Amino acid sequence: MRESTRERVRERGRTRARQHDREREREREREHARENKHERERENEHERQKNTSKRERKHEREENTSEIEREKT
* Predicted local confidence at residue 69, as pLDDT: 80
Q: Which residues of 31-64 are buried (b: 16+ CB within 10 A; e: fewer)?
A: eeeeeeeeeeeeeeeeeeeeeeeeeeeeeeeeee
Average pLDDT, the chain: 92
Q: How far apart are CA 9 and CA 17, in angstroms?
A: 12
* Predicted local confidence at residue 1, as pLDDT: 56
pLDDT surpassing 80 at residue 72: no
Helix boundaries (H) for 1-73: 3-72
Q: Higher-confidence residue: 67 or 49?
A: 49
Q: How far apart are CA 61 and CA 14, in angstroms?
A: 70
Kindly report, residue by residue over 26-57, the tens digit of the pLDDT.
999 999 999 999 999 999 999 999 999 999 99
Residue 71 corresponds to which amino acid?
A: E
